[in-house]
Amino acid sequence: MFRNSVRLIGVALTAGALGACAQSSVVTKSELRPSARQAHIDDNPGPAATGKPAAVKTAKRTPFRPAKRPGDTGFASSGIASFYSEGQQTANGEQFNPGALTAAHRTLPFGTKLRVTNIATGRSVTVRVNDRGPFVPGRVVDVSYSAAESLGIVGRGVAKVKLDVVH
């Protein structure tokens, strides 16, 4: 019996010691308030509340710069070209004309003169950008039917080309 009492006292002392070491999990209201060092959501309302546009990081693209020819601006790219022969109105508001030497490009400004060279044949034509496109992945330019005839791509429908912006 004495042995059981000693054990019971030992267990009680151990439990008391562990209980004293444990931290309280009760949170007071003062701990819920933001401190002076913490940012509060109202301190930085963001671009929507201020009316200012959000800053956006953009990757800097350096265009390929081939040997200069008279009139070249230095912008060049290459990829697949296709052509289109039907349409009602271009993105800049003009009526589509398949007989004109025009092209659709995704980013170049309307009115840009663009020399398109068929890499396989060496044939080239200068077109004016007046539309947006192409919207097929992997293609860099859509040219009018007349420009496609000059490049020799009407039969195949597509060709690997090099693009140079000219003045």
Residue 1, H or E segment: none
Give the length of the chain: 167
Share above pLDDT 70 across residues of the chain, in percent, rounded to a whole number: 56
Domain positions in the chain: 72-166
Angle (nearest 5°) at CA 95 between 90 and 98: 85
Residue 9 pLDDT class (50, 70, 90 cuts):
confident
72-166 architecture in CATH?
Beta Barrel (2.40)
- Model confidence over 100-156: pLDDT tens digits? 999 999 999 999 999 999 999 999 999 999 999 998 998 999 999 999 999 999 999
User: Which residues lie below 8 Å from residue 101, measured CB to CB, with a gap of 6+?
Assistant: 125, 126, 127, 128, 144, 146, 147, 150
